[in-house]
Amino acid sequence: MKLKALLLTSLLFTTAFPSFASIQIMGTRVIFNAKDKEQAIRVNNVGNTPSLVQVWLDSRAESGVADKEDLPFVITPPMARVNEGKGKTFRIFQTQDTVNKYPKDRESVLWVNFLDIPPEEASLQDKNLLNLAFRTRLKFFYRPAGLKGDEIKAGENLKWSMANNADGYTYTCENNSPFHVSFSRLVIKGDDKTLINGDMVAPFSKKTFSFKTKNKTAKPVLEYTFITDLGAYVDKQF
């Protein structure tokens, strides 16, 4: 119950007050290949006070409070104190159940959660104040052996189709690769009001994006940016 209360607090305040979070995560995603024994994630405390950092995995795309899941990975340590100006490495290990848990013809996505819990000042312990915690999530991609291609080719070979509708355009993206393609943005060229920040299309699937605009043209151009394993941004047009 206590954990869920902390998680709920993080959900309520991460967006509203991001500048107060003191934990900096090194990296934008985790790629775990089937042949890997482990993957390491480094966090640094760039704040002025110690923080208690809790790390866990879940399979929910939504950022709500999740119940404990039986996933074939172990994180060590699951919680650690990180002093100001210092860092800590968290390690993720796979278990023997991993190979049978996920499809072998495509990668699977989970989310790594980092809960940054600041210390409670002794001088404020008797006051009716809320001690805020902040949560950050990274995508965690598990890749079985033998997948053909890579995430860059997947992003470059997307198939798009466009349809006009009464209040704008509808674009359908078809991903025929075994990799997820993550977008940092999608926008109709010349119309910033149509901007979609962040999305993802799963392997061997289609996804539709709707853009409402009052500035329709005969030949609209869709601009989109996808993200590579290393966190690089690749700009494309359709």
User: For residues 154 and 235, what is the distance between their CA atoms, to the nearest angstrom?
Assistant: 13
Query: What confidence tier does 124 reach under pLDDT thresholds 50, 70, 90?
Result: very low
pLDDT for residue 225: 98
pLDDT for residue 137: 93
- Domains 20-143 and 151-237 alike in fold: yes
Q: What number of other Cβ atoms are within 10 A of residue 158's Cβ?
A: 19
pLDDT for residue 126: 52
CA 149-152-153 angle, 5° bins: 50
List phi, psi (to 5°) of 100: -95, -5
The pairing of beta strand 29-33 with beta strand 134-143 = parallel
* Token duo for residue 220: 């609209």
Amino acid at 59: S
User: For residues 226 and 215, what is the distance between their CA atoms, to the nearest angstrom?
Assistant: 25
CATH number of 151-237: 2.60.40.10
The CA-atom distances, in angstroms, between 101 and each of 13, 55, 110, 139, 207 are 34, 21, 12, 18, 25
DSSP 12: H
CATH number of 20-143: 2.60.40.10
177-214 confidence digits (pLDDT tens): 999 999 999 999 999 999 999 999 999 999 999 999 99
The CA-atom distances, in angstroms, between 85 and each of 24, 49, 104, 130, 207 are 11, 9, 42, 25, 43
> Position of tokens 């209040």?
167
User: For residues 111 and 138, what is the distance between their CA atoms, to the nearest angstrom?
Assistant: 6
Of 64-68, 76-80, 146-150, the poorest mean pLDDT is in 64-68
**Looking at the DSSP assignment, which residues form a beta bridge with residue 219?**
none
pLDDT at 1 over 90: no
**What are the boundaries of each domain within the chain?**
20-143, 151-237
The answer to whether the beta carbons of residues 195 and 187 sit under 8 Å apart is yes
pTM of the model: 0.84
Instruction: Give yes or no for a cis peptide into 118 (omega within 30° of 0).
Output: no
